[in-house]
Every structure is written in structure tokens, then in C-alpha cells.
Structure 1
Amino acid sequence: MLTQLTISNFAIVKQLELDWRNGMTTITGETGAGKSIAIDALGLCLGDRAVTNVVRPNTKKADLSATFDIKKNKPANTWLSQHDLEGDDECILRRVISSEGRSKAYINGSPVPLTQLKELGRLLINIHGQHDHQLIVKASEQRRLLDNYAKHQNLIDDVSYYAKKWAELTNELERLQTSQAQREAEQQLLQYQVKELDEFSICEGEFETLENDYKKFSNSQSILEDTLTTLELACDNEQFNILDSLRQCVDRLIQYSDIDGDLANVSTIYQDALIQLEDASNDLRHFHERLELDPQQFQVIEERYSNAINLARKHQVSPESLHIKHQELLQALANISGDDSRQEQIFVELDKTKIDYLEAAKRLSDSRSKAAGEISQLITSSIQELNMPHGQFKAHVSTKEGEQLSSHGLDDITFLVSINPGQALEAMHKVASGGELSRISLAMQVILADKVTSPALIFDEVDVGISGPTASMVGDKLKQLAKTTQVICVTHLPQVACKGHQQYFVAKLTDGEHTETTVTELSEQARVKEIARLLAGDKISEHSLANASELLAS
């Protein structure tokens, strides 16, 4: 349930903190005072779209927060746990809106996307607006209301799943059929490309080896000459070589190793250098002796290396990736060659999917028909209690199978009403006035609220177009609903306002330069005066006060 609503710099509200309790709370006030302002603020906390003019003039931002008691709300607790946003036994939704229109949302102090506010908000409270009755004449809204009453979301999900699958298969089949000529041309190109790469048949990692061999062979003459020259300088020249010179250096220094420690270290370094040079010379000699110049082998390597580069350039890939490109083209050719068999498979899948869809749609239709019978009786009884003694209501479900598989099933839902004796049932928008639509809408909302349990319900002037004895009946309906859930009702009717367990009064104050809305909880005595004002207008008489007391006492 909603326990607190805090509003700062919102519209014409400077600062407001409202505490809410169980049962039924009514909100009244003068015309234009902003009775719905708290509901609008709450709607933003629940994720409604924000505009710049919601921020109070000459302030930087509006700050709104709503606190809910969720001890007994398992769905909300589960949602919070799944999103790592748990609190204690309460949940705080907060919305901050800048004067430039930027908006930030928070759940239990953590920043969240606006979509998460909406998701969680639906588990905490339901708001019924004063124009909801205009929606119920729409076919989509009538289907939604019936489905909500039936509580068969699993059946709707099944139908939607098969409809989506059927649409995907249909689109795939259409793509395959319309691109037949294009696929044939593509297939020919792929066959040529694959044949060319098949003939070249490069292996994974082969180009790297080719490149190394090519570099080695192309520089082999220079390598041969330079290694020979190096060997001459290092050890083979009889006139002078580095190895002989280094041996002489070692021989001269080693005799002093026992005399001077510094020379001993230098002598050791020269000896190490001599050993390394001898090893290097031996390795270089072995390399030089093994180096072969085979022109035919080099020609083979050069030709394959060059072909690999040209093929890679042709296919717009690096030579190292040519093997991968070959495999991709093979797969593409296999895929395009399998399209014909895929078409045959799609026809089989389409037939099966349609059978599955029709079975799921039949289960949904049966559930809707059963729910339609129940809701028709309940709403008929309810609108008769709301001063429409001859009113009849019927939720009509007609099932028809078309070529297209709708995600909503095969049913057309139509709400039919009859207001007067002997009048045939007709579509709601044809026979019901605005006030009658309001009463039918309220009856639905009460029935659905009772069926689809919600921790809190807000009715924002849903009693528009209603007066007299009917208003009293509407108040009784709302108070009856408040036995099982929290009800907050914005109203202009004294017969409804008096049914509340507590009542708030909204007033607009101005000093000529600034305007501010205030909301005050009324004492019992103040409630009498406010009910009297609603009954008689600004001129409150003893008679209207007595009537107000009588209404409250009843």
C-alpha cells in the first residue's frame, strides 16, 4: 500500500508531504485547485512521461517520491530481488525532473531506467483516470479488460509464440521465393570462387611458411656470400682473423691472473668471448655448408607465394586469411544449395505451427468465452445497482479463422449493452451516454480490481457525469472495495467524499504574484463543512451542514 507521497517544486506545489492509510481516502477541493496534482505526481513516480512545465516556476528541479509498504506484496518483493534493489519492508520510488526537462529515476536510492519504474509500479498500484471510460469503447481495450479478468496470460503467451513463429517462417519463405534468380546468380559466382580456391588448396598457416621460405630463398645468394665473408674474418683467413687474435689476447693476459685480480677478471671475460666466438663460428660454418641454392624449388615457392597474394587481393582479405575465406565460401555455397530443401522444410514447419497455433487459440477462446459469461453477469448486476435498473451487459466473443495469425488469437471481443427495457443489445458506444459509460467503466474497474488483486487503487474523478442517488451507490461500491485494498479517490461528489475513512482538502492560495497548492487532512468537523460546501456551494447553511452530518453518519 502507499504510505507516503512527498512533492517538492512540482507545478504549483512548493512543498507537500502526505501520509496515507488503509481503507478509503477521498480528495476534494475547489474547481481548479489541483485536486489531481498528487495523482499526477504519483504517476511520474510510477514512470509517466515528464515535460518541462511540471517544474515549479523559478526553481531548478521537481523532486517527487512515493513510499510503499511491501511486507505482503510478494510480486514486488520478487521483482526487487531479481533486480538487486531490495529494501526492508518498504519501497521508495523517486523521480527528479530538471527545469530543462531532464529526468532521473531511483528505486530504493539506486538509479534505474524509467522502464524499471514502470515495471515495478504496475506491481504496487493501479491508477484509473477520469477518461478511462472513453477507452472501453475500443476493441483493443475490451479485449484487454476481458483477458485481465480471465487471468490467462499463459494462454495469450502460447498464442503469441506460435503467431510470431509463423510470421518468421512466412517471412523466411517469402525471402527464399523472391530471391530465386538472385540466389542462382550468387550460386554460380560462389561455385567459380570455390573451384578456384579448391584448385589452389591453401592450408591453414601455409602462407606464413611460404613467406618465410620466399624471403630465405630470395636472399640466399647474399646470405651465402655474407656468411662466407664472416667466416673469413672470424676464423678462416690465414693472414689475420678475429679468433686467432682473441687467442693471443687470452694467452698474454692469463699469465698475470695469479698476480692481479683485476686482470684475472678481464682474462676470464676474454676466455668466455673466445668460447662464444668459437661456438658461433662452428654454427655459422654448419649453416653455410647446408645452405643450398635450388632454382627450381625457389621458382615453385615464388609462384605459390605470388598466387596466394593475388588471390587474397582478389577476395579482399589478407593472405594469412585466405584459408578462412575458402571455408566461408564453402559454407555459403552449402547454405545457398540447401535453400531449395529449406523451402520444403518451411512448408512442413508452417503446417505444424498453424496446427499448434489453432490449438492454442482454441484454448484461449474457450477461456475467454467462460470469462465473458462470468463478467457479463457481474457487470449487469453492478450497473443495475448503479441506478441503471434495466441495464444489461454482455461481453460477446466471436471466433473466426483468417489467413493471418494474430498474436491476440482468433477472437473479436465486443462489449454490448442495453440500457432500457425492450432495447436490443448493441455496441457500447452506440447506446450509452457519457454518464452511463462512466458507471459501466466503474463497475468494470471495481470487478477487475477485486479479481486482479492490487495493493492500492486510485480513482481520479471516475465519477464524472454521475449525480444524485447514483453517486451514493458509487461511493458504496468504492467503500466496499476498500475492505480488501487501499482506495484513494479524487472526487467532486459529496455522496462519494463522505464514504472515505479519511479525507484531504486541496486549496489554491495566491498573493497576486505567486500561486501555491496546499493539501490538508480534514478533521471530522472540517469534513462536515467540506461536505456541506460540496452540497450547497460557497453559501453554507445550517440545512446543508445538517445534510452533511447525516451523510457522514450514514
Structure 2
Amino acid sequence: MLTNLAIKNFAIVSFVEIDWQQGMTTITGETGAGKSIAIDALGLCLGDRATTNTVRPGTDKAEITASFDISQLVKVQKWLQNHDLQQDDECIIRRVISKEGRSKGYINSNPVPLAQLKELGQKLINIHGQHDHQLLLKPTEQRRLVDDFANNQKHIEKVQTLYHQHRRLEQEKQQLLANVEQRQAKQQLLQYQVQELDEFSLQANEFDQLENDFKRNANVQQLMQVSDLCLQQLSDSDEYSALSMIQKCSEQLNQLVDLDANATAIAEMVNEARISLEEASNDLSVYQQNIDIDPQTYALIEERYATAMQLARKHQVRPENLFAHHCLLRQELDGIAVDDHRLEFIDSELDQCIEQYQHAAVKLRDKRVQAAKQLASKITASMQQLNMEKAQFSVQVNSEKPDQVLQFGLDHIEFVASMNPGQPLEAIHKVASGGELSRISLAIQVILSAKIITPTLIFDEVDVGISGPTAAMVGKQLQTLGQSTQVICVTHLPQVASRGHQQLFVAKLTDGNQTQTRVNQLDQHKREQEIARLLASDEITESSMANARELLAS
């Protein structure tokens, strides 16, 4: 439940802090005092869109903080845990809005996006406004009310999942059909390109070896000359060859070691160098012997190398990337084949999806039909209690375009009523006056509020257009609702205000330069005065005071 609301620099509020109680709280005030300002601030704190007059003139930012006791709210605790926002049995939601329009939201001191404020707010508070009866005329709102009453959320999610699946399949099919000619032309080109590269059959990393072999065979004469020259320099019998000179040096160092052991390491290094030169000379000799000029082999290598270079230029890739390019073309060709295969089977998937959708939609319809009867019966009874004794209410559930796949099922839901005996049932906008629509809307809100458990219910001037015994019955229904949940009601009716377990009074104060709003909790005496004021249209009399005491005592 809501336990505290602190409002700072919001609209014409400088600072207001309200402690809320369990049960029913009524909010009254003079006309133009801004009775709904606390509700507006709470809505803003829970994610409503800010307006240009959100921040009090002359200040930098508005700040609203709402505190909730969630010790009994298991679903809210679980939501907070899932979002790493849990903090014992209290939940504190804060929103700060700068005069430039920038907004920041916090849950238990953790910054969160606006969407999370809204998501959590829907689990904590349900606000019914004075214009809800206008929404009641919309078919989408009538369908939503029936589904809320029937707890159809899971069935709707199933229908919507299949609807989106069907839509995706249809879009995929249309895209595949639209690209048939383009795909066929692309397929022909790819088949030619892949076949050409298949015939050449270049293997992974082959080009690097091919290029090396080509260069080697193209330069055999130079390889022979260079290797022969190196052999002469290394191991020729000439006393100035590398091996001859290092051999002499090694012998001389060995003599040096005999005289001074400190030269041992040097002698060993030179000896190792001599051995390395001997091995290099032997290996070079073998290498030279293996340099073989085979015109036939060279011709084959030259031809394959030239073909690889030609194909690389043709496909506009580097020759070392030709193999990878070949693989990509083959994959693209295979993908076209997959698309063609997909087109062959997509109709069967669509048929299966439609069958599943029809099954889910029929289940949803059955739930709606069942709920429609129960809801209509409850609304009729409530309307009769609200001074519409002869009224009858019905919820019609008709099949809408049964061969189509629609997002919210196949049903067209319409609220119809007869306000007087002998009159046929017709759409409520045709037979109900504005005041009657307000009462019907209020009846539905009370019925749904009793069925859909929300910790805090707010009724913001939903009693507009009613008075007398009807107002007394509305107050009684809201008070009954407040016995099981927290109810906050902004009202101008004494019959409703007197039913509250707690009453707040909103006053607008001005010093000629600035205007401020104050919200005060009324004690028993001040409640009597406020109820008397409401009864007597602002002029308090002994009679209105007596009537006020009677209302508060009832």
C-alpha cells in the first residue's frame, strides 16, 4: 500500500508531504484548489508523461517521492528481486524532472528507465479517472474490460503469439514470391561462377605454394648460379674459403686454450660455427643437386598459376583469396536453393499456424462469452443500485471475420443496454446519457477493482454527474472496497467523502504574488465542517453541520 507521498516544486506545490492510511481515504477541497494534484504527482512519479507546467515557476526541478509497504505484496517483491532492486519490505520510488524537461527515475535509490517506473507502478496502483466513461464507448476498451474481468491475459498472449507468427510467415512468403525472378537470375550467374571455380578446383592455401613453385621454376638458372657461387665461397679448396679460414681459426684457438683456459668458451663458439658452416655447405650442395629443370612440370605450373591469376581478376579478388571467394559463392548458391525449398513448405506452416490460431481464438471466445454473462449480471445489479432500477445491461460477443487472423482474437465485443422497460438493447452510446454513462463506468470500475487485486485503487472524481441516494450508494460501495484494499477517492460529494476512514483537504493559498497548494489531514471536527460545506455549497449552517455529523456517523 501507499504509505507516504512527498511532493516538491510540482505545479503550484512548494512542498507537501502526505501520510496515507489503509482503508478508504477521501480528498476534498474548494473548486479550483487542485484536489487532484496529489494524484497527478503520484502518476508522474510512476511514469506518466511530464508537461510544460510540471516544474513550479522559479525553481530548477520538481521532485516526487512515493513510499510503499510491500511486505504483503509477493509479486512486487519478486519483480524487484528480478530487477535487482529489492530493499526489505519498503519500496521507495522517486522521480526528478528539471525545468529543461530532463527526467530521472529511481527505485530504492537505483536509477531506472521510465519504462520500469511504469511497469512497477501498474503493479502498485490503479488510477480510475473522471473521463473513463468516455473510454467506455470505445470497442477496444470494452474488449479490454471483458478480458480483464475474465483474467484472459494468458489466452490473449497465446493468440497474439500466433498472430505475430502468422504475420511473420506471410511477410516471409510475400518476400520470397516477390524475389523469384531476381533469385532465378542470381542463381544462373552463381551456377556459372561456381562451376567455373569447381572445374579449376583450387584448394585451401594452394595458391601460396603454387606461386612459390612458379617463381622457383621460372628462375632455375639464377638459382643454380647463386648456389654454385655460395658453395665456392664456403667450401672451395681455396685457402681463403670460409670453411678453410674458420678451420684455421679453430685450430689456433685450441692452441690458445692450451695456454689459457679462459679462452675455452671462445674456442667452442668458433668450433660450433665451423660445424654449422659445414652443415650449411652440405645442405646447399644437396639443394643444388635437387634443382631440376623439368619443362613439362614447369609448363603445368605456369598454366595453373596463370589461370589462378586470370580467375582472380575476373572475380575481382586477390588471388590468395580465390579459394575463400569460391566457398562464399557456393554458400550463396546453396542459400538460394534453401529459399526455393522454403517456399515449397511455407504454405504448410501457414496452414498449421492458422489451425493453432483458430483453436486458441475459440478458447479465448469461450472465456469471453462466459465472462460476458457474469459481468453483465453484475453491472445490471450495480446499475440498479445506482438509481437505474429498470436498466438492463448486456455484453455481446460476436464473431468478427472468422476466416482472418487478428491480433486480439476473432471477437467483436459490444456493451449494450436498455435503460427503460420495453426498450430494446442498444449500444450504450445510443441509449445512455452522460450521467448514466458515468454511473455505468463507476459500476464497472468497482466490479473490476474487486476482481483484479491491485494494492492501491485511486478514483479521481469518478462520481461526477451523480448526487443524492446514488451518491450515497457509490460511497458505500467504495467504502466496502476499502475494507479489502487501499482506496483513495477525489470527490466533491459529501455522501462519498464521509465514507472515508481518512479525509484530506486541499486548499489553494495566495499572497498576491505567489500561489501555493496545501494538503491537510482533517480531524473529526474539521471533517464535520468540510462535509457541512459540501452539503451547503460552501455556506456552513447548523442544519448542514447536523447533516454532516449524521453522514459521518452512518
Q: Output the TM-score relative to the length of structure 2.
A: 0.93
Partner residue, 1:353: 353
CA separation of 1:195/1:478 partners in 2, compared to 1, >3 Å: closer, same or farther? same
Measure the CA separation in 2 of the matches of 1:71 and 1:263.
89
Matched, 1:368 2:376: no
Partner residue, 1:257: 257
When structure 1 is superposed on structure 2, of 313-322 and 542-551 the one drifting more is 313-322
CA contact (8 A) 1:162 1:353 kept: yes
Q: What amino acid is aligned across from residue 442 of structure 1 in structure 2?
A: L
Partner residue, 2:200: 200
CA contact (8 A) 1:52 1:100 kept: no
1:19-71 deviation per Cα after TM superposition (whole angstroms, max 9, x unaligned): 21210111112222222222122212222222453122232222222222222
1:193 is displaced (CA, Å) by 1.8
CA separation of 1:447/1:270 partners in 2, compared to 1, >3 Å: closer, same or farther? same
When structure 1 is superposed on structure 2, of 525-534 and 307-316 the one drifting more is 307-316
Partner residue, 2:431: 431
CA separation of 1:292/1:125 partners in 2, compared to 1, >3 Å: closer, same or farther? farther
CA contact (8 A) 1:197 1:326 kept: yes
Q: What amino acid is aligned across from residue 64 of structure 2 in structure 1?
A: L
Structure 2 counterparts to residues 172-191 of structure 1, below 5 A: 172-191=172-191
Partner residue, 1:78: 78
Q: What amino acid is aligned across from residue 115 of structure 2 in structure 1?
A: T
Measure the CA separation in 2 of the matches of 1:105 and 1:209.
64
Partner residue, 1:538: 538
Structure 2 counterparts to residues 153-232 of structure 1, below 5 A: 153-217=153-217, 221-232=221-232
When structure 1 is superposed on structure 2, of 175-184 and 80-89 the one drifting more is 175-184
Matched, 1:61 2:29: no
1:220 is displaced (CA, Å) by 5.2
1:439 is displaced (CA, Å) by 1.1
Q: What amino acid is aligned across from residue 62 of structure 1 in structure 2?
A: A
1:491 is displaced (CA, Å) by 1.4
1:438-494 deviation per Cα after TM superposition (whole angstroms, max 9, x unaligned): 111111111111111111111111112222222221111111111111111111222
CA separation of 1:95/1:225 partners in 2, compared to 1, >3 Å: closer, same or farther? farther
CA separation of 1:472/1:216 partners in 2, compared to 1, >3 Å: closer, same or farther? farther
1:373 is displaced (CA, Å) by 0.2
User: What is the aligned residue count?
Assistant: 554
Q: Which runs of 5+ in 1 are unaligned?
A: none
Measure the CA separation in 2 of the matches of 1:309 and 1:113.
58
Measure the CA separation in 2 of the matches of 1:314 and 1:3.
77
Partner residue, 1:414: 414
DSSP-derived class of the 1:32 partner: coil
DSSP-derived class of the 1:54 partner: coil
1:2 is displaced (CA, Å) by 1.2
CA contact (8 A) 1:400 1:410 kept: yes
CA separation of 1:38/1:246 partners in 2, compared to 1, >3 Å: closer, same or farther? same
When structure 1 is superposed on structure 2, of 130-139 and 526-535 the one drifting more is 526-535
DSSP-derived class of the 1:25 partner: strand
Q: What amino acid is aligned across from residue 271 of structure 2 in structure 1?
A: Q
Partner residue, 1:133: 133
Partner residue, 1:381: 381
CA contact (8 A) 2:239 2:245 kept: no
Partner residue, 1:146: 146
CA separation of 1:406/1:236 partners in 2, compared to 1, >3 Å: closer, same or farther? same
Measure the CA separation in 1 of the matches of 2:438 and 2:271.
109
CA separation of 1:20/1:309 partners in 2, compared to 1, >3 Å: closer, same or farther? farther
CA contact (8 A) 1:13 1:518 kept: yes
DSSP-derived class of the 1:463 partner: coil
CA separation of 1:498/1:331 partners in 2, compared to 1, >3 Å: closer, same or farther? same
Q: What amino acid is aligned across from residue 144 of structure 1 in structure 2?
A: R
CA contact (8 A) 1:391 1:417 kept: yes
Matched, 1:31 2:35: no
Partner residue, 1:42: 42
Q: What amino acid is aligned across from residue 147 of structure 1 in structure 2?
A: D
Q: What amino acid is aligned across from residue 207 of structure 1 in structure 2?
A: F
Partner residue, 2:19: 19
Q: Output the TM-score relative to the length of structure 1.
A: 0.93
Matched, 1:493 2:490: no
CA contact (8 A) 1:27 1:506 kept: yes
1:405 is displaced (CA, Å) by 0.7
CA contact (8 A) 1:5 1:19 kept: yes
1:280-307 deviation per Cα after TM superposition (whole angstroms, max 9, x unaligned): 3333333333333445434433443444
Q: What amino acid is aligned across from residue 149 of structure 2 in structure 1?
A: Y
Partner residue, 1:112: 112
DSSP-derived class of the 2:517 partner: strand
Measure the CA separation in 2 of the matches of 1:109 and 1:221.
82
1:434 is displaced (CA, Å) by 1.9
1:263-289 deviation per Cα after TM superposition (whole angstroms, max 9, x unaligned): 444333333333333333333333333
DSSP-derived class of the 1:255 partner: helix
Partner residue, 1:516: 516
When structure 1 is superposed on structure 2, of 197-206 and 22-31 the one drifting more is 197-206
When structure 1 is superposed on structure 2, of 376-385 and 386-395 the one drifting more is 386-395
When structure 1 is superposed on structure 2, of 372-381 and 219-228 the one drifting more is 219-228
1:363 is displaced (CA, Å) by 1.2
Partner residue, 1:101: 101
Q: Which runs of 5+ in 2 are unaligned?
A: none
Matched, 1:326 2:326: yes
DSSP-derived class of the 1:59 partner: coil
Q: What amino acid is aligned across from residue 200 of structure 1 in structure 2?
A: F
CA contact (8 A) 1:52 1:98 kept: no
Measure the CA separation in 2 of the matches of 1:265 and 1:323.
53
- Quote the sequence identity (%): 56
1:217-236 deviation per Cα after TM superposition (whole angstroms, max 9, x unaligned): 45555444333333332333
Partner residue, 1:278: 278
Measure the CA separation in 2 of the matches of 1:111 and 1:370.
44
Partner residue, 2:234: 234
CA separation of 1:3/1:209 partners in 2, compared to 1, >3 Å: closer, same or farther? farther
DSSP-derived class of the 2:106 partner: strand
CA separation of 1:224/1:445 partners in 2, compared to 1, >3 Å: closer, same or farther? farther
Measure the CA separation in 2 of the matches of 1:332 and 1:188.
12
Q: What amino acid is aligned across from residue 275 of structure 2 in structure 1?
A: I
Structure 2 counterparts to residues 330-349 of structure 1, below 5 A: 330-337=330-337, 339=339, 341-349=341-349
Measure the CA separation in 2 of the matches of 1:442 and 1:13.
30
CA contact (8 A) 1:508 1:515 kept: yes
DSSP-derived class of the 2:292 partner: coil
CA contact (8 A) 2:12 2:515 kept: yes
Q: What amino acid is aligned across from residue 551 of structure 1 in structure 2?
A: L
When structure 1 is superposed on structure 2, of 434-443 and 251-260 the one drifting more is 251-260
